[in-house]
Structures are given as C-alpha cells and as structure tokens.
Amino acid sequence: MDFFTAYREGQLAGAYHRVPALLADLAPAELARAGRLLAQLDVNDDEATVIRVAITGHGTLSPLVPSLTAEVARHGLRLRPTVGDFGGYLTELSDPDSAIYRAGAELTLCVLDAEAIFAEVPVPWRPADVRAALDEKLSILDKLASIFEANSKGTLVLNTLPLPHRFTAQLVDHRSRAELGALWREANARLLRFGEQHPGVLVIDLEPLLAEGIPVEDPRLAVYAKMHLSAELLARYAREIGHLARGAAGRTKKCLVLDLDGTVWGGILGEDGHDGIEVAEGHHGEAFRAFQRVVKQIGSQGVLLAVVSKNDLEPVRRALTENPAMTLGENDFVRIIANWQPKHDNLRQLAADLNLGVDAFAFVDDSTLECGLVRDQLPGVAVLPVTGDPALHVGTLLADGWFDVRELTVEDRARVDKYREELSRKDFLDSFDSIEQYLAELGVRVRFAPATEAELPRVSQLTLRTNQFNLTTRRLQLPEVRELAGDPAWHVLAIRSGDRFGENGLVGVVFARRGGNSLHLDNFVLSCRVFSRGIERACLSALLHHARENGITEVFGSYRPTAKNGKVADFYPRYGFTALPEPGEFRHDLGEIVAVPPHVELDFGGALQ
C-alpha cells in the first residue's frame, strides 16, 4: 500500500511508525503533497518525537513547510513549525521576545537569498556596491547570531547565498563579472566560517545542491510572489534540514552494513573467485572502486563498517586480504558475517555483538528481495537498495547523510578501534567461567571529574546519540552544554574509562544540579560500549558519598521512559533510591550508599565544593 492510499483509508493517525517506509520512495513533488497531508494528521505526542523548527528569512518561505514536514517524517519525526512574518528576519532575530524565540525551537532557520543583498544596492550598481552591501549584511548577521546564542538553546541555521545568472549578466564586461563572482564567493566563505565564532550556528552550503542541476529561482514566482528560491531548491534544502532534525533527535546511524556481491564488488565470489570479481579495472570495476573509496572515507570518521553477506567466510576474507586491487580490507570492518542465514537474523546478531540497536544500522544491498525482507523484519534499519548501475551506488549511499554529526570529536575518530577492542573483550569474557572472574581480570579504570572545555563537544554528542542508557533522554546541543557547565549551580561530570585492552575515552556524563542541601541528578548517560562493567555504580557511589561529605542531605533522580531506555528503568531503585509519588522521580536519603565495585579502580575528581 502506498502513502496516499494509507492516508485516505485513515491508517496513519494511529500508526505513525509506518510513515517513514511509505515516504521512502516518493519523488520531491509527491513529498511536498504528502507533507501537506501529514500536517493535517491528528497524531498523539507519544506516537512520534516532535521536532520544533522556527522559520524566518527574507523572501516568501511558506512553500518550505510542506517539504520540511515530509522530510522530518521520513525519519519518524513530527514537525511543529513556527513561521515568521514575510521578510521579518532582522526584527525577529533581534527581538528575544519574538515568536521565533518563544517557539523554543531545536532548529531556527534563517533562509536568505541574493535579493536580500541586491535590494540594498543602488541602480546603476558596480561590484564595489555589492561588496559594501555584503559586508554590511554579514556584520548584521554576526550580531544576530550573537543575540541568538544569548537567548536560545537551539541551533541557528543559515545558508550560503546563491548568485543567479540574472545578476552577473547585468554586467556587460567580463572583468566586472569575475570581480562580482570573486567577492560573492568570498562573502559566502566568510559566512561558512560563522560556526568558528558562533558554536550555536550552522551554515548550509547551497552550492553543492545547485550543482545537482536545481534551479536557483523561478523568474515568475520571484517577481510576483517574492519567492526568491525555487520550490525545487527549497525542497532540497528541506532534506538537509531533515538530516539536522534527525541528529537533534538522536537518530543518527552509527554503523554501515554492506552486502558484498553486486554491492562492494561486481560478480559472484562463489563463482568467480577472489581474483575474478570486479573491484578496480574495467567498466564496472571502476564504479565499485569508487564506491569502496567512499565507504573507506566514511569509515575513517568514526562510522562502524560491517559486512553481512550470503557467502562462506573464508573466501570473503581471502578476497579482502589477497586481492591487490581491493580498496577495502578486512581490517576496515569491525565485524564480517558471511553465512547463509537470513540477513535480518544476522543483523540482529550483529547488533548484539556491537551492543547497538538495529536502528543504528544503515544497510546496503543490491537485492530487492533482501532489502524488502530487512525493511519488513527490521523497520528501524535504514535500507539503501543499490539495484541499478554500480556508478549510482555512491549517490544512494550519500543521499540522506545517515551518519552526519554536528562536529567530529576525538572519540569519533577512534571509535572503530574502540569497538574492535570491545569485540576482543567479548572473546576474553568467553574464556571465564563467571562474570565476576572476567571483571576482576579486565582491570576497569574510571576517571570521574568535571568536564573540561575540550570535552564539551563529546558530552553534547553523548546526549544526542545515546538512547539505551540515557535516563531522561534530554538532548543537549553544544551551546546548552556550555551554559550548564558555566552555571555554578550545575555540575557536568564526565566519565572516562579504560581497561587492560586500552582506553575507551569519554563514555558517559552525569548532569547534576544543587539547590541548598539537595542535589538533583538531571540525567545520567553512558555509552552502550561499556555496559555491565560496574562503571555506573562506581560513579553513582562516588557522587553520593561526595554529596554527603559536602553537606547535602538528599539526592533526587529522574527517569523518563522511552522506547529504548527500558533497561535502565530500575537504575535508581537498584542503588537505594526510593520512588516518589510523582512518576519517574526518586529520592536517596544518603543513609546507606552502595559501594564502589571492588573490580573498579575509581579516580574521582570531586565537584560539589
């Protein structure tokens, strides 16, 4: 059943989880139509995560809303938009009491176009006039960004300014055209660097989108409706915003899982042998090599790579290690599963091995049958069919930015090695008769101390990407984390761990707020990589003891249930907290405090003085 049929028959209001799959294959024009229908859908707040987006800018922007509604729905989210007045961005972003600020949006879009500049240059004009207008506009945007950061905990999203041909063509000499092109690009480069001075700002570069052949504007709509960006460009822009919304909701994918035959290389390994498959030379070989290069590039930035293939394991390993033309090697993958079991079962096993949910996977396969089975059995997996020309594989993989993050951290770049070490720990565990023996020999080390400035980006990322051990699932952008870290009443405590296999890095964070003689644990977050090692118990014990020593008489903790954090529902009661009448609220009287596990070597840096 397609989306429009399901909508007409009233099957979506109570089954919003079906929407992403139904939207997956719709064309942009159909997505906008679907977005208009989704905006009318009566959906309970507990059926889908709401993402609040405020929209302001220079021209007519109302056509952006339907596309944006559909794009966030593609990721299982529901849009709650606030649209500012026509051309009102200067007033709305400079006034902390405007509707744009009152929306409390996770994302605030300030959509700009070339007309915002040329409306302020004289006629006739020269490139120098445009330079002056650009300089003034960038100065204003810089001030607006500062006001925004001081008054909002969300993210301000700007965009580079596309330069339509109708402006350059008004200059009859090529030297002036070149001058205009250069100064325009310089201004966009300055705009792209706004994030270096303003952590609360992101800038979407429209140039790569225009390179796809999308028109900047429709001349008639630009003149008659003051819509200075085309509907096609706004729809493509909406897709980029959908990726940001997915990240803000903690739904970024963490692992790229690949089929092999017809996906990573051409041919059938079992028939062609490791030296007969297409991986570099020849018409299709070049396409597969290009795909492998992109996969390797993605994997170098903290994305886990894995294989799930219907093959025998030894020939796969041979192909990855002995074929000299292969770009990807065995060591690029954290896990290679090659057998003849159903792929959805193998994906479940892979999730267990990596201690991830299957919704952390993006799965690429050239088989329509396999893609359909995985989509049916594991709806949380992002299924990327590559059923056509292998030259199109790269575009399919990159089209939705499944692994996009706001900022790469040191931990991101080391993630593959950390997960490989984790699999070694699992093998080490198998050599012991009991978990107690294993933990005693593992040599767990924990450093628990106030987060440093350099650690704050990783702290923010943990709140955005951690779903299972996240007691309140409060997603915090970097500016919000910085605000809490700078507030004397708050304590942002980072958890680092290591053991005999190496350092795990920054794996957790506790947000605590002191008020008089009480302490409230606003959230406790721990990476799934370090579950079941006593780290959370050690840190909680240290914090409770430290609180008692510093005049605190009671500690409160909150738990907010989600679809994924059920495994920590009993976290506070397990360690001596008593449930309060209000659901999800707990209290500890600091009488009997659980001890630090004997196998954990804890270094606690203090916090509450």
Tally of domains in the chain: 3
Q: Are residues 107 and 213 in the same domain?
A: yes
Rounded CA-CA distance 491/511 in Å is 6
Cα-based distances in Å from 588 to 201, 427, 580: 40, 38, 10
Kindly report whether the peptide bond that precedes residue 124 is cis, defined as omega within 30 degrees of 0.
yes
Is 409 within a domain? no
Is 421 within a domain? no
pLDDT of residue 9: 86
pLDDT of residue 553: 94
Condensed to tens digits (0 to 9), the pLDDT of residues 154-188 reads 999 999 999 999 999 999 999 999 999 999 999 99
What average pLDDT does the structure give for the chain? 91
What percent of the chain has a predicted confidence (pLDDT) above 70? 99
The distance of Cα 579 from the centroid of its chain, to the nearest Å, equals 34
pLDDT of residue 419: 79
Is 464 within a domain? yes
Residue 609 has pLDDT above 60, yes or no: no
The three state secondary structure string of 436-474 is HHHHHHHCEEEEEEECCHHHHHHHHHHHHHCCCCECCCC
Q: Which one, of 59, 393, 76, lies nearest residue 233 by Cα?
A: 59
Is 408 within a domain? no
Q: From 248, 273, 300, give the residue that closes a domain.
A: 248
Q: 28-38 vs 64-73: helix axis angle to the nearest 10? A: 90
Q: In the beta sheet, which residues pair with residue 603? A: 447
Rounded CA-CA distance 429/140 in Å is 59
Condensed to tens digits (0 to 9), the pLDDT of residues 218-254 reads 999 999 999 999 999 999 999 999 999 998 888 899 9
Q: List the strands of the sheet with 502-515, edge to edge.
A: 578-579, 585-588, 554-558, 518-526, 502-515, 490-499, 444-450, 600-604
User: Cβ contacts of residue 56 below 8 Å, gap of 6+?
Assistant: 83, 84, 85, 88, 89, 92, 93, 100, 108, 109, 110, 111
CATH of the domain at 444: 3.40.630.30
Q: Are residues 525 and 574 in the same domain?
A: yes
Residue 431 has pLDDT above 80, yes or no: no
Is 295 within a domain? yes
pLDDT of residue 607: 62
Confidence of residue 25 (pLDDT cuts 50, 70, 90): confident
Condensed to tens digits (0 to 9), the pLDDT of residues 471-529 reads 998 889 888 899 999 999 999 999 999 888 888 889 999 999 999 899 999 999 998 87
Condensed to tens digits (0 to 9), the pLDDT of residues 329-383 reads 999 999 999 999 999 999 999 998 888 889 999 999 999 999 999 988 998 899 9
Condensed to tens digits (0 to 9), the pLDDT of residues 78-106 reads 999 999 999 999 999 999 999 999 999 99
Q: Are residues 377 and 436 in the same domain?
A: no
Q: Are residues 348 and 442 in the same domain?
A: no
CATH of the domain at 274: 3.40.50.1000
Is 411 within a domain? no
Q: Are residues 316 and 200 in the same domain?
A: no
Is 452 within a domain? yes
Model's pTM, two decimal places? Answer: 0.78
Is 405 within a domain? no
Q: Are residues 510 and 585 in the same domain?
A: yes
Condensed to tens digits (0 to 9), the pLDDT of residues 252-289 reads 999 999 999 999 999 999 888 888 899 987 778 999 99
Q: Are residues 148 and 281 in the same domain?
A: no
pLDDT of residue 116: 95
Q: From 248, 268, 298, give the residue that closes a domain.
A: 248
Q: In the beta sheet, which residues pair with residue 560? A: none
Range of the domain at 365: 256-398
Q: Are residues 472 and 364 in the same domain?
A: no
- DSSP characters for 241-288? HHHHHHHHTT----EEEE--BTTTBBS-HHHH-TTTSBSSSSHHHHHH
Q: Are residues 296 and 322 in the same domain?
A: yes
Q: Are residues 365 and 478 in the same domain?
A: no
Condensed to tens digits (0 to 9), the pLDDT of residues 594-605 reads 999 999 999 998
**For residue 65, what are its two tokens?**
């809303």
Rounded CA-CA distance 577/594 in Å is 10
The distance of Cα 361 from the centroid of its chain, to the nearest Å, equals 13
R_g of the chain, CA atoms, integer Å: 26
Residue 606 has pLDDT above 70, yes or no: no
User: Cβ contacts of residue 546 below 8 Å, gap of 6+?
Assistant: 604, 606, 607, 608
Q: Are residues 298 and 373 in the same domain?
A: yes
CATH of the domain at 125: 3.40.50.1110
Q: Are residues 197 and 262 in the same domain?
A: no
